[in-house]
Amino acid sequence: MASSTYDSIYRLIESLPVVSTHEHHLPDDFQNSLTLDRILERERSYVGWVLDLTPGLDASSRAEFLAQCRHNSYYVWLEKGIQRVYGFREKITSENWDRVSQQISDFHADPDAHLRILTETGRYRRAIEDAYFDPGSDLGHPEIFASNFRTDMFVRCFHPDVLDHDSMNPFRHYPGIPSGNFDDYLDAVQARVLRWRENGGVALKSASAYDRPLSYGEGDRAAASQVFGRHPETVSPGERAAYEDFVLNWFCRMAVRLEVPFQVHTGLALLSGSRPLLFEPTIMRHPDVHFVLFHAGFPWYGEIAGLAHNHANVSLDMVWAPLISATAAVAALHQFLEVARSSDRIAWGSDTWTSEEAIGALLAWQHVVATVLSEKVDTGYFDMAEAEALVHKLMYRNAARLYGFDLA
């Protein structure tokens, strides 16, 4: 039974706007074609992507799919999101599958339905879009989305035949970008990033922990220049790492110049290489860069709590964490509130591709916030007035302040 403190904090949460620090919301044409099956596709939901489970089309393979994933957190919160958006309480089963799917499809006949779910059901005011498929895009909806700029393909790729983990490559994505001379190439990347910032971009973003370990060295321009343009078969692992080190540090210096935070994926990528502590030398090398460490560093949330304790240039972001495990996110948020230099340093994003899963992620986050703050009140750590002030910070104010959103 939730305490009355939980209930009253939850009611306050539900009355407040939401600012999300991180989404992979897909473009209109995909959203307008949604069905239950499409929501669950690989690379469109965590059930499909991480669990590597997608339903077949007949009743028995749908029943088998549900039996496989029903107790996993990604499925649990996605189902809660769908229930909330479409106003039903029963579980999704192979029997009601087609009816639910038809309801989703009918709703998205309105081309703005996916945006209305975010702004009406989800109370979203602003969100940062990470369009890794089109870096810097706001999906044509600048009233909701501001963009971050994904650095991964630039860090990873020194030749047209090298792809990052999203199969992106700058020489393929930007035909005409200089490929013969490293200085000309960097000038072109810089011009592109400056233009993105002038057009309202709000953060740099690295998800390179899916490509390599977070243990970046200092890097060296001459060494990187030696690698640039060479065929990957002629480049040793050490040379490749040196190139990546240089370009990642180059983007750190760009973050200072652009006056934007640098969002960094930690935890759950190439697993052992995504340990947050591996990133500490880079945090210390760039004291003037504001690093936002993502995903609560799960499963190493204690490590990013330690980094935030020791380093003034670190913020903590709970993005994705409540969906991965609300239990772990509760433990993490307790620690973060206790050790962060300021409670202004904690924010959240849904990290999802569809509005339905975004609502599930938001429900998970609301549950985590209400649980942690009510426990803090009920155990006498602080009083209800502090909990209420924190709710405003965690749901929208911290993110709005850090990324410069005017919510007035």
Q: Compute the least distance from the CB of residue 146 to Zn ion, in Å.
A: 15
For residues 104 and 319, which CB has a smaller minimum distance to Zn ion in the complex?
319
Q: Compute the least distance from the CB of residue 21 to Zn ion, in Å.
A: 10
For residues 83 and 148, which CB has a smaller minimum distance to Zn ion in the complex?
148
Q: Burial code of 272-281, b = ≥16 C-beta within 10 A, e = fewer?
A: eebbbbbbbe
Instruction: Kindly identify the residues of this chain, within the stretch 189-228, that bind Zn ion according to CB under 5 A.
Output: none
Q: How far apart are CA 348 and CA 357, in angstroms?
A: 15
Do residues 205 and 251 make contact, with C-beta atoms less than 8 angstroms apart? no
Tokens of 248: 């990642």
Residue window 255-294: x/- pattern of binding to Zn ion, with contact defined by CB under 5 A: ----------------------------------------
How far is residue 71 from each of residues 66, 79, 357, 385, measured CA to CA in Å?
A: 9, 11, 16, 36
Q: Compute the least distance from the CB of residue 111 to Zn ion, in Å.
A: 25
Residue type, 395: M
Q: How far apart are CA 203 and CA 130, in angstroms?
A: 10
Q: Compute the least distance from the CB of residue 137 to Zn ion, in Å.
A: 15
For residues 31 and 352, which CB has a smaller minimum distance to Zn ion in the complex?
352
Q: Which residue is nearest to Zn ion (CB)?
A: 351
Q: Compute the least distance from the CB of residue 167 to Zn ion, in Å.
A: 16
Helix (H, G, I), strand (E, B), or coil: what is residue 328? Answer: helix
Strand (E) or helix (H) holding 31? helix 28-31
For residues 171 and 294, which CB has a smaller minimum distance to Zn ion in the complex?
294
Q: How far apart are CA 61 and CA 48, in angstroms?
A: 14
Q: Compute the least distance from the CB of residue 364 to Zn ion, in Å.
A: 15
Tokens of 9: 């904090």
Q: How many residues bind Zn ion (CB under 5 A)?
A: 1
For residues 134 and 388, which CB has a smaller minimum distance to Zn ion in the complex?
134
Q: Compute the least distance from the CB of residue 351 to Zn ion, in Å.
A: 4
For residues 244 and 351, which CB has a smaller minimum distance to Zn ion in the complex?
351
Do residues 162 and 156 make contact, with C-beta atoms less than 8 angstroms apart? yes
Kindly give, in sequence order, each residue whose CB lies less than 8 Å from that of residue 238, ignoring residues fewer than 6 positions away. none
For residues 152 and 351, which CB has a smaller minimum distance to Zn ion in the complex?
351
- Enter the DSSP assignment of 271: G
Q: How many residues appear in the chain?
A: 408
Q: Compute the least distance from the CB of residue 24 to Zn ion, in Å.
A: 6
For residues 76 and 361, which CB has a smaller minimum distance to Zn ion in the complex?
361
Task: Name residue 18's beta-bridge partners.
Answer: 124
DSSP per position, 92-116: P-TTTHHHHHHHHHHHTTSTTHHHH
Q: Residue 152, interface with Zn ion (CB under 5 A)?
A: no
Residue type, 229: G
Instruction: Kindly identify the residues of this chain, within the stretch 334-363, that bind Zn ion according to CB under 5 A.
Output: 351
By CB under 5 A, name the binding residues for Zn ion: 351
